[in-house]
Amino acid sequence: MPLTTMLWLLYVYGFWRIGDPFPLLSASKGIFTIEQAVSRIGVVGVTVMAILSGFGAVNYPYTSMAYFIRSVSQTDILTVERRLMLTMDMMVLKKKRIAIDRRRTKGTSTKPGIWGMISSVTQRPAGSENIGQLRLEISALEEMSRQLFLEVHSLKNMQERQRWSMTLQGKYFNVLGYFFSLYCMWKILICTINIVFDRVGKKDPVTRGLEIAVHWCGFEMDIAFWSQHVSFFLVGCIAVTSIRGLLLTLTKFFYKISSSKSSNIIVLVLAQIMGMYFCSSVLLMRMNMPAEYRVIITQILGGLHFNFYHRWFDVIFLVSALSTIFVLYMLHRPPIADDSQ
């Protein structure tokens, strides 16, 4: 009980100290206000949202577009499988040699008398193996077999992706991949502009899009009416898809680290992250609402510096997207040819 209380107090202290480096609140707000808690929850939640958004904006086109699928033939898979089987045969042969040598040594050590004991220590039987060297070779072969197995698994996955890309569903996701790749480039550009020029949007995207359509395309429509309904539909879609994406990502992560002892801790951590994520979604979706509804959130949480959260999201999104691009490039870049050979 004392340890639990100490850890809980340490968590509360760390949670409170999160807000110190950031300009979260107006100076007029006191300590015991809802803005104090929401402002700190928003920092963690917006950070999680930005990291997942940046990773997803890059990873989705990479995994769904046929352009990034490497061509793999059945011959390539058979070649690696043949190397794997050859490595396994060599490993079995060396283990067999160790077993035979142990059996021979055991038979020699059973000689009676003092001379048998001395000879078993000082002399090695003719034809005996260097056990230490064989064990080192077996260890190297085991590591090579693991790498070859992973390579075979990767090639088969790539071949399966090739077959999937030829189906109707694969072609549909390929088109979506091109769309999201354009969205990723546009979002990176907009985030860079927002960071450099310290800019925050004043109008929601739906209203701006309808105004552009009316001005350039000559459409006649009630912008206020349609922007209200389309904005709420868009907010609903964003809420459902973002929370679904978060749950899928966290489920995959917790599935890998879960055990019979950590299940309760995982449930508590998931509940904490979901609460922070939902509060942060409210802060960020405020800009997707029409101005008259945006005022309601501003009145409830008027002490928060909303512009800070949008700027923080842009910074973390940009870092996450660029880091994902760099990691994917380093993992899958073609090998450099050696000119000296």
pLDDT tens per residue, range 46-78: 888 788 778 877 877 887 777 777 788 888 889
**Amino acid occupying residue 204:** D
Instruction: Give me the domain span that covers residue 105.
Output: 74-165
Please report whether residue 336 resides in a domain: no
- Which of 113, 133, 165 is the endpoint of a domain? 165
- Measure CA 205 to chain center: 28
Distance CA(210)–CA(289), nearest Å, equals 14
Considering the domain architecture, whether residues 187 and 128 belong to the same structural domain is answered as no
d(CA 164, CA 170): 5
Identify the DSSP state of 146.
H
CA dist., res. 142 & res. 231, Å (int): 58
> Is the residue at 249 inside a domain?
yes
- Residue 139 counted as domain residue: yes
- Paired strand residues for 25: 304
Which residue, 240, 256, 235, 252, is CA-closest to 59?
A: 252
User: Within this chain, do residues 11 and 49 fall inside the same structural domain, yes or no?
Assistant: yes
Asked, for residue 273, whether it belongs to a domain, the answer is yes
Same domain, 182 and 317: yes
Residue 272 lies in a domain: yes
| Assigned domain for 157 exists | yes
Say which amino acid occupies 320: S
> In terms of domains, do 201 and 60 share one?
yes
Q: Do both 99 and 154 map to the same domain?
A: yes
Q: What is the pLDDT along the chain (341 residues), one digit of tens a residue?
A: 678 788 878 877 777 777 666 665 555 555 666 667 777 777 888 888 788 778 877 877 887 777 777 788 888 889 999 999 999 999 899 888 888 888 877 765 555 555 555 555 555 554 455 778 888 888 998 999 999 998 898 888 888 888 888 888 888 888 888 887 887 788 788 888 888 887 766 555 656 676 777 767 766 766 666 666 666 666 566 566 666 666 776 777 777 666 666 667 777 777 777 777 777 777 777 766 666 667 777 777 666 777 788 788 888 888 988 898 888 888 776 655 444 44
Sign of the CA dihedral with 15 first, then 20, 23, and 25 last: positive
The rounded distance, in Å, linking the Cα atoms of 168 and 181 is 20
Statement to judge: residues 21 and 126 lie in one domain: no
Per the listing, tokens 């190397």 go with 83
Q: What is the residue whose two structure tokens read 């990691």? A: 327
CA 271 to chain centre: 20
Q: Are 300 and 329 in contact (CB under 8 A)?
A: no
38: which residues sit within 8 A by CB, 6+ positions away? 279, 283, 301, 304
Number of domain units in the chain: 2
